[in-house]
Structure 1
Amino acid sequence: MNKKQANANLFSARPFASVLLTSILLTATTANATVVSSEADAYALGIDLSLDIPGVNLSVDVLAPTGASGIAPSPFNNTNSILGSDLGLGTQVTVAPTLSVSLASPSDAAVLEATASSNVDGTTGSRDASGNSTATGLTLDILNTLLAPPIGIAMPGTAVSISASALNSTSTVSGDYGSLSSTGSSYIADLAITLFGTPLIILGPSDFGLITDVNGGLSTSPNFEALNVGGIVGLNLILNEQTGSCTNTLCDLTVNALRLSFDAVDISSFGLPTNGLLSGTLAGDITLGHSYSQLAAVDNSVAVSTPTTVSLFALALLGVAFSNRKLVIARKS
């Protein structure tokens, strides 16, 4: 074999090796996804109420217990608890010469707990984040009035009372890029809601398909909703409220065991014994058993975009054509 023939064989082999190598480089990826951040928080009792009456505006905005939250990277596991007797929700306010009003008061012996945790540390692999809240022995009275007539005995009245021997909610998100998922649940034992001392029929399991176990625990499918509870316009109840979504890169879930909302409720509809001294609207939300969790992930795989892939493949073909042209010239000479 002379030198020209050797060169011709060399040029003949190189283009195919070049195309093969280029194809391998263009299709090679490295599975290396990372959960880059997470959040979680929880509280057992949330009150955001505003009472708008002529000449007076009362409001309560409190989350209890506070401090059970976290943001990662850097794993966290934060827990807090509080007794109902330690909650400062305001005192009675005099709105008329013989009438005092307070927006909310919890039972002193109630125990409220919350936990937020995550193991996200910035490295690759499946991770999770979780929020959890619990309460025991809770009774919450909303819109308490005390009428003290000039003559006679003072007459107390409570518009709405919510009680439960135990309740909890949990929100958990877990996984990796492309496989993030969420799970949530809630449970309420011995739930009772009354309007000025009258139990609500809405909580009858046979009436609304609610499920109670042998221990008096109440559970429902997510987002059980009852509007205008007790015939009061704007008084709405949601049990096992769950909201959130999951994509390849982001997953979040909020769970509320119970949310009672007041949409500009006319307080005269509660029938409180105030001798017509109290009028106005009540707005806001009462939330029991709140939990929240979130994960965010990215795909770290080494991949070439489609336009770049096409351009490189075209250059490879041009290289083949040029090499073949040199091969023809070499053979002719």
Structure 2
Amino acid sequence: MLPLMLADVEQAAARIEGHVTRTPLVCSSSLSAFSNQPVYLKLETRQPIGAFKLRGAMNAILSLDEAARKRGLVTASTGNHGRAVAYAARELGLPATICMSALVPANKVEAIRALGAEIRIVGSSQDDAQEEVERLVASRGLVAIPPFDNINVAAGQGTIGLEILEDLPELSTVLIPLSGGGLAGGIAVAIKALMPQTRIIGISMARGAAMHAAVVAGRPVAIREEETLADSLGGGIGLQNRVTFALCRSLIDEIVLLAEDEIAAGIRHAAREESETVEGAGAVGIAAILAKKVSLTGPSVIIVSGGNIDPEIHKTIVDGVVA
């Protein structure tokens, strides 16, 4: 039996209603023409924090009892999850500490700081930041809100799958950014339970794709975190992974890896053809289609997971300065 079930996702949907945005599903005429199949964009960029992570963070925090919440929250993040925890904590009147590595872009760090959270920059990897979380849990009694390997976090992300099927019951394929597996695993649980024939494709960058390496090895493995345009997909999945590895290994039909120039092309296309500002991690589904690394056979959905990209980097990519 998998660690997360459809009932968990349905309960999360009821719990977070009114706390998160039900995001739009819009048809991309350009990608539909390119693919000769209807292609839709699920715009999680419309969340208050500009990324899907608010769903899982809010569900996990609302699942805590009042005493646990008041102890204070702590998490490790590559940016968007930290922003989600900080936002949810502010909305609920709770203190939050966000631990990040030096690889997290400055614009994401400052966005978290603006929400009133305490910031800790530690080391040069997500694993280093996670060690600081564990230290703070032990020394200050804070309550950890994991970025992905948690039933309530993954269930919250899975609510995207429920919304997609409500809007597009004829769904054939869904392309999902793949990192720690909370997003891909949660959505896959919902969609495979309700429409098992739907194809689930995880998309990651070639540089340091931790879940892909784990699936290939048949177990969680250590990977070297590298700089990438898809910075939100960086970091390991945890050698003691309890939830998301099992979900991804069992439910994802295919994993596609992208080069940096392919990710840049996805960002550029989103801006020029879709009028959407999308970060590297959010653009990987678009990029996979443009690179012809996936073949579509029916109505398909791309999860556009976030839009929190540094404006100067975005401009250089859109202007064609970055290949």
Tell whether the structures are fold-level matches, with TM greater than 0.5.
no
Which structure shows the bigger proportion of residues in helix conformation?
2
- TM, length-normalised to structure 1: 0.27
- TM, length-normalised to structure 2: 0.27
Which structure shows the bigger proportion of residues in strand conformation?
1
| Larger Rg belongs to | 1
